[in-house]
Structure 1
Amino acid sequence: MITKPQAETLTALLNQIRPRWSTTSLMTILEKNAQHPAKFADIATAAVTAARDPIAQTPGIIFIDTRFWPEETKHRLPKPPECEDHIGEPAHNCSSCHADIKCGDRPANMIGKHHTTNRNPGQPT
Structure 2
Amino acid sequence: MDFLFNREVVMFTNVSGKSSFALKARIAGVACLAIAGIQSWALMSNTNSAGIFRYSSDEEITAECKDYAWSVGRDGIYRTINPAMWFKTWCAPYSAKIRKVDMDAYSARLRETIAKVDAEEQADKPSK
TM-score (norm 1): 0.23
Q: Which has the higher helix share?
A: 2
TM-score (norm 2): 0.23
The higher radius of gyration belongs to 2
